[in-house]
A and B are shown apart, each in its own frame.
Chain A
Amino acid sequence: MGRQNGKKIWSIMALCAMIGFLLLPVATSLNALASGGGEAPPAPAVKAEGEKKDEAKVEKGRDVYYKTEGIVSGAPAPKTVDGPRDYPRYNFESRVLLWFANQQHLYYGSFVLAVPIFCMIIEFMGVVTKDKAMAKKYDQLAYDFIKISLTAYSLTAILGGILIFTFLTLYPAFFGYLSSIFRPVMHIYALMFVAESGTLYIYYYGWDKMKEGFLKWIHLSMSVILNVIGTLLMMLANSWIGFMMSPAGVDEQGRFLGNIWHVIHTALWNPLNVHRILGNMAFGGGVVAAYAAYRFLSAKTDEERAHYDWMGYIAMALAVAFLIPLPFAGYWLMREVYAYRQQMGITLMGGLLAWLFIIQATMIGILFLSTNYYLWQALGRMRGAEKYQRYIKYLVFVLVCGFLIFITPHTMVMTPAELKAMGGQQHPVLGNYGVMSAKNGGINVIITTTVLSFIWYMRGNKEPMVPWKNFGNIFMGAFFGFAYVNIIWLAVYGYYIPANVRVGLSVPQVATTLSCLFFMTALNGFMLKGAKQMGPIEWGKISVRSQYAIIMLATAFTWMMGLMGYIRSSVRLFWHVNEIMRDNSPWAYTHTVGFAANMISFNVLFFWISILFVFWLGTLGAKKVPVNVKAHVPGRVPEPAHGH
């Protein structure tokens, strides 16, 4: 016992030492940051700093966003001119090159940020599970995950390098300005990247060494550190795009005012952070699920099929768990955009970029449709789920009604002849579906239905045995029924009250949906305590269609991420930094919808091809231990092989 304790203390100390070591560079640079990063600037900057200090004594600037006074301590944003000095170029549109580099880096970046979070969750599930076989299975799954992300991690770094070189060579003036403002932040970013790599490697290579007892907990807490660092990294990167969209901490000419926190903490920084974290997780889950689906479809044995069915299910569940709050984070972001600049909000939602939002709505709908479809298909691998399958058609109807309203455009595409026949831009029936009030209703109906599908799935092969089961079922029915009524009522009610009251209605609508999500899953959990099992879940007995649904979901995620990134970026219109630094390159116009869609599709295609390569690399390693994989599929009686 004493030795055990000694070991524990040692491991804690070792862990602390490691954290300290990893965060040391950050801590030292924080010190420099506190003094404005100007204590010991690199030699060439000393002179410039000195010169500026003389003028700075008199010159004060006003923060464009925080409206505080600050001493001017940076050069104004350069006024670029179109030419080889500010915009050197190849015989090609520089913006498209940058777009490509950026998008690929972001895809891989979000993938490698998301996968360790899953690893953490799955490893934790493995540690707390009492069932030994299951625990091992979880552990192996987490290990598989991190293995995939390791290759992707180095690709992310390479793509990051490519991105920086693209910036430096094609947009030197702009990048110079950005880095002059974010100098300390960029250094911290680089140092944290080192810390991230260190932790990741120890985490990965120490897996086997640290798999027993208390060391396992240390290992687990290391994954927490890994994720904290990863998230901080992302938040720092977000501060750059936040600054570009809604600059702060500089005066009207773009001169830095000495407060780096203002520059980081811009109006849109936090909404972007939340939206991106959730989005990354959903995206990462989707990619892993697609990987599992791909392996399922190409599997040769029942064992493999069972394993990858299960893996796909877990990844899918995680993806959906983060997909559900995603629209709400999106609404928050939009609200903040409107609060920051109404003009920007209108450009997004009603003006120039509105068409892209209609595409986005369609994609969101597809995400939820395929999620539901997967859950319904998954009922097929359970005994006793037939009782729910009969009612799926009604769910389809409700879901599709919500979907149709959600995608009805406010401004319809029509030929002039149709316009005349309709007698105006607005259709008296469908035009009403095009406004926010109805769309909120539509999406909330969709999400509530998804929750209902999930509850059916949970119940698929179980029969509640609690004494109050009849009441429980009726209560649940009433709750869902009135939730639908409430959502639809609020949507209709919105037409009869003024706009400033109407915008508030989305909050109780969302609350209704969330009530369903939390209370009903909890109630379901209570009801299923000690429930009678109608039969085991037969992993691998799922239809092929479900796997295509997963692949569709993952592709829709990727496509949507590309689309939303494009929307967010192009809302600046002809600004590099909104209202501070103008884009004077020949590419300061907004692309046509068709071109943008093609470009996004190209990015998606490239990402999927390259990640297939990464997956393939993963299988190369796995082939050495085929026995291992098989041994981890529990709950299955060995069957004699039979031909198909």
Chain B
Amino acid sequence: MEMMIIKAITNPIFWFALLAFGVVLLFVGKKMNILNNTAYAAMVSVVIVVAYFHIVDHYLMEMQGLDYWYLFRK
């Protein structure tokens, strides 16, 4: 189980999916006019931002031939 979670979160596709999910939420929120609702906005923002920073961390380390998830894979 633990292995599964680690495998999932160390895969950039997971974070891309999360980012896409966030963007979808953004558009849904816009359609349904609840984007300015504080709780909803906070949720969407956190999803997008967290996914974004993980992608940044992952790819910028990979670009240098290094593994961002070093500690978790061990």
Number of A interface residues at 8 Å Cβ cutoff, please give it.
28
Q: State whether A482 and B35 are in contact (beta carbons under 8 Å apart), knowing that A504-B61, A507-B61, A507-B63 are contacts in the complex.
A: no
B25 to chain A, nearest CB (A): 11
Mark interface residues in A306-328 (1 if CB within 8 Å of B CB, else 0).
00000000000000000000000
| Secondary structure of the A contact surface, majority rule | helix
| Secondary structure of the B contact surface, majority rule | helix
Residues of A within 8 A of B42 (CB): 474, 478
**A505 within 8 A of partner (CB):** yes
Residues A478 and B70 in contact, CB atoms below 8 Å apart: no
Residues from 495 to 515 in A contacting B, C-beta threshold 8 Å:
496-498, 500-501, 504-505, 507-508, 511-512, 515
Residues from 31 to 74 in B contacting A, C-beta threshold 8 Å:
35-38, 41-42, 44-46, 48-50, 52-53, 56-57, 60-61, 63-64, 66-68, 70-71
Residues A511 and B38 in contact, CB atoms below 8 Å apart: no
Residues A486 and B57 in contact, CB atoms below 8 Å apart: yes
Residues A507 and B60 in contact, CB atoms below 8 Å apart: yes
Residues A493 and B71 in contact, CB atoms below 8 Å apart: yes
Assembly CA distance A468 to B52 (angstroms)? 21
Residues A479 and B45 in contact, CB atoms below 8 Å apart: yes
**A483 within 8 A of partner (CB):** yes
Assembly CA distance A61 to B69 (angstroms)? 47
Assembly CA distance A493 to B66 (angstroms)? 14
Residues of A within 8 A of B41 (CB): 470-471, 474-475
Q: State whether A486 and B53 are in contact (beta carbons under 8 Å apart), knowing that A470-B36, A508-B60 are contacts in the complex.
A: yes
Assembly CA distance A483 to B53 (angstroms)? 8
Assembly CA distance A477 to B48 (angstroms)? 13
**A490 within 8 A of partner (CB):** yes
Return the chain A residue nearest B58 by Cβ. Answer: A508
Residues of B within 8 A of A500 (CB): 66
Neighbour of A501 across the interface among B49, B60, B66, CB < 8 A: B66
Residues of A within 8 A of B70 (CB): 497-498, 501
Return the chain A residue nearest B40 by Cβ. Answer: A471
Residues B45 and A474 in contact, CB atoms below 8 Å apart: yes
Mark interface residues in A464-478 (1 if CB within 8 Å of B CB, else 0).
000111110011011
Residues of B within 8 A of A501 (CB): 61, 66-67, 70
Contacts A/B (CB < 8 Å), 29 sampled? A468-B30, A470-B35, A470-B36, A471-B29, A471-B35, A471-B36, A471-B41, A471-B45, A475-B41, A475-B48, A475-B49, A478-B42, A478-B45, A478-B48, A481-B49, A483-B53, A486-B56, A490-B57, A496-B71, A501-B66, A501-B67, A504-B60, A504-B61, A505-B61, A507-B61, A508-B56, A511-B56, A511-B60, A515-B52
Give A contacts to B, CB under 8 Å.
467-471, 474-475, 477-479, 481-483, 486, 490, 493, 496-498, 500-501, 504-505, 507-508, 511-512, 515
